[in-house]
């Protein structure tokens, strides 16, 4: 998502396109939707924010 600058909705759409089954992995969908917040707040992900920001 960071490299492609996708929204969570775009990432979830691609997951379903490639056969993702939310029944078996409900926490994955939640993680994807919350990822932008994690990216901004997690110190360990700070290098990604700076590496791929415009």
Domain containing 14 equals 8-52
Domain-embedded: residue 3: no
Structure tokens given for 51: 């590496």
Neighbours of 40 (CB within 10 A): 10
The model's pTM is: 0.71
How many domains in the chain? 1
Which are the contacts of 35, defined by CB distance < 8 A and separation ≥ 6?
Answer: 1, 8, 11
Domain-embedded: residue 42: yes
* pLDDT value at residue 39: 84
* pLDDT value at residue 9: 94
One digit per residue, the tens of pLDDT, for the chain of length 54 reads 888 889 999 999 999 999 998 888 889 989 999 988 888 888 887 777 766 665
CB 35 within 8 A of CB 1: yes
Which are the contacts of 10, defined by CB distance < 8 A and separation ≥ 6?
Answer: 1, 4
Q: What is the pLDDT of residues 38-51, one digit of tens each?
A: 888 888 877 777 66
């Amino acid at each position: 998502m960071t490299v492609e600058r996708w929204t969570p909705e775009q990432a979830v759409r691609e997951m379903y396109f490639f056969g993702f089954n939310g029944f078996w992995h409900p926490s994955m969908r939640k993680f994807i939707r919350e990822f932008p917040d994690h990216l901004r707040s997690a110190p360990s992900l700070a290098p990604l924010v700076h590496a791929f920001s415009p």
